[in-house]
Chain A
Amino acid sequence: MSTPKDFTTGVGSDVRTSQRRVLFITRRTSAMVKRTDEEQVQTYPAALVRAALAFELLTIGLVLMSLFFNAPLEGIADPTNTPNPAKAPWYFLGLQEMLHYFPPVVAGVMIPAVLVAGLIVIPYFNVNIEADGMFVKDRARRLRIFYLAAPLLSVFLLYFDVYVALVPTLLVAGFMLLAAHSGPGSASSLRRYLASRAVSWWIMTWFLVELIVLTVVGTFFRGPGWSWVWPWRS
């Protein structure tokens, strides 16, 4: 062993009362306690009082709503009389919209399964840890993937006439295109912001926009036979 060791060793002074602790302190460093100026407060009462206040405001809001708006109740269930359209609860209307275009095994099983699996793997999926802009690192390859994936998805949606999902896709893809041609040096703050967004941000934002558009369309713009209706004309 000709190379000098890059650390010194020692035995903790509390060796009699605790397990032996070996310290490795590399050169040019020292064991130090880092001071942070993070101010902390007691959970009781500071956080609990605020939580109670939030709960009270929530209760007041919902009580007022319950006083002025009645929950819907229709006639007794009748298996022989199908209403047209028969709609699922609002949070499933996005899926029902997909069910209109794709076979049930795709819209009812595969899409939800992919969504749930996608949500679960987000934190285990390393891309966003550094929160780098999507087109910053490995730019050429990522641009190629984007220029391939976005038109493919659009053509796929167009082929099945899913215009409701196509419009938000094109919108998000348009902003991604803008982001691809922006950088930290761009003049407008919007372009600088978009350029710094990571790939998971774009996927989640696309999902959020689709979720909102499909739910709103399913709730207000779908009539008999799942045809398009204008809510203000009925």
Chain B
Amino acid sequence: MASRLDNTIARIEQTRLWRSIFRSGTGNSTLHRAMAIQQNIFLHILPTKVRRRMLDLSATWYLGTLTLGTFVLLVVTGILLMLYYHPSVPQAYTDVTDLRFVVSSGLFLRNLHRWSAHAMVLLAFAHLFRVFYRGAYRPPREFNWVIGVVLLLITLLLSYTGYLLPWDQLAFWAITVGSNISSAVPLMGDKVRFLLLGGHQVNANALLRFYVLHTVILPLSAVFFIAIHFWRIRKDGGLYVRQSDPLRKSAAQGEAAEESVAAGAGKEEA
């Protein structure tokens, strides 16, 4: 059964259609595996090879990967929620109650979006502190740290703008408290607040602005900076490795040892 499946897959991979889509061809050689990364528009921002010890749970706790995971979950559930939601007053609130009581799995969808959002904020903070305590922000990775800080701010803004959308008491007063702070900005505080809310108080204009920020501007910014963040990992020589991180010894150690000039160790060719 398994071999028949393998044969079928192998035959599909030989077809002209498949070959026209995937440039790297088929095969299990190291070259093909490298090409699977390098020849793919989405994966080519990753390095083709990684240090084995950086795959250990203890090295990263996978916090960056998991933060990206919550973002993917949020995009998927967010798009589905958009099918049922109108950013207008008072329709927004009735749409959210409909999600709860009328729409099939609407309650589950909203729960998953909400909890993933909290998880993303938590994981982004955890990722920040983990990277700091490992010292992984040090040169040449300093600019990637800055991009990480930008991504943390985008994450907070994404969560904050989403907070208003249900248009319930919790949303309204949380945003009122938050937007009052922006009027404390010296000299142009009231103008900043007016720009943010589209008015002098949290109203239908504010809801529309927060909706556009939450569903278009901020997610696109996040994707933009996430791409740079991952690409810089490759450009800066892979994940930061501490000298004290234990080396994994394996049987093939002798042969697998990599030759590299000390200064360029782990650096990928562009």
Chain A residues packing against B (C-beta within 8 Å): 33-48, 50-51, 54-55, 58-59, 62-63, 65-67, 69-79, 81-83, 86-92, 95-96, 99, 103-105, 107-109, 116, 119-120, 122-124, 128-129, 131, 201, 204, 208, 211
Known: A51-B65, A73-B170, A76-B169. 10 other contacts (CB 8 A): A33-B261, A36-B258, A37-B247, A40-B51, A65-B111, A66-B108, A95-B181, A104-B183, A108-B181, A109-B184
Q: A44-B36, A44-B37, A123-B137 given as contacts; is B257 within 8 A of A36 (CB)?
A: yes
Proximity string of chain B (26-41) to chain A, C-beta cutoff 8 Å, 1 when within and 0 when not: 0000100110110000
B66 at the interface (CB under 8 A from A): yes
Tell me the smallest distance from the CB of A50 to a CB of chain B, in Å. 6
Q: Which residues of A contact B47 (CB under 8 A)?
A: 43
Which 10 A-B residue pairs are closest in the complex by CB-CB distance?
Answer: A123-B142, A104-B184, A108-B181, A77-B172, A66-B111, A71-B114, A86-B173, A34-B262, A74-B169, A66-B112
Contact B49 A42 (CB under 8 A): yes
* A43, A71, A204, A208: the one within 8 Å of B46 (CB): A43
Contact of A43 among B48, B93, B145, B167 (CB under 8 A): B48
B34 to chain A, nearest CB (A): 7
Given contacts A99-B181, A109-B185, contact A33 B159 (CB under 8 A): no
Interface residues on B, range: 35 or more
Q: B: which residues have CB within 8 A of A? A: 30, 33-34, 36-37, 43, 46-53, 55, 62, 65-66, 69-70, 72-73, 89-90, 93, 96-97, 100, 107-108, 110-116, 118-119, 121, 125, 128-129, 132-133, 135, 137-139, 141-142, 145-146, 149, 153, 156, 159-160, 163, 166-174, 176-178, 180-186, 201-202, 241, 247-248, 250, 253, 256-262, 265-266
Q: Given A39-B257, A40-B51, does the pair A120, B170 have CB atoms closer than 8 Å?
A: no
Q: Are B253 and A37 in contact (CB under 8 A)?
A: yes
Q: How far is the CA of A104 from the CA of B182 in the complex (A)?
A: 9
Q: How many A-B residue pairs have CB under 8 A?
A: 219
